[in-house]
Amino acid sequence: MIKILYFGSLPDLLGRGREEMFLPKTVKTSRDLLHYLAQRGEEWQQGLDEARITLTVNREFRELDAPLEDGDEVAIVSKGLGRL
């Protein structure tokens, strides 16, 4: 299970500030996670656009292709590029 935290304008846009989830087998990297979450709808696609967010894993900035593991904490922060 991983913990996902949403910051900036994301909690208002997505309707939540945090969640916990089991990673599907297809989600191996942070980029995979963003694509998986974006399938939830238009707000998710807009809010999780790679150009609009900064991402940390276990409180360290990571490349989007870095692997995710069970127990990780992922924080996704909107960069504040105006209204989404």
Residue 54: CA count within 13 A, CB half-sphere: 9
Rounded to 5°, the CA angle 71-26-37 comes to 75
Tell me how far the alpha carbon of residue 71 is from its chain's centroid. 15
Q: What is the CATH number of the domain that holds 21?
A: 3.10.20.30
**23 within a domain of the structure (yes/no):** yes
**84 within a domain of the structure (yes/no):** no
Give pLDDT, residue 84. Answer: 44
**83 within a domain of the structure (yes/no):** no
Residue 35's pLDDT band, with cuts at 50, 70 and 90, is: very high
- Identify the residue whose tokens are 């940390």: 56
What domain range is 58 assigned to? Answer: 2-78
**Domain count of the chain?**
1
Chain segment 54-84, per-residue pLDDT in tens: 999 999 999 899 899 999 999 999 986 554 4
Q: What is the average pLDDT score of the chain?
A: 92
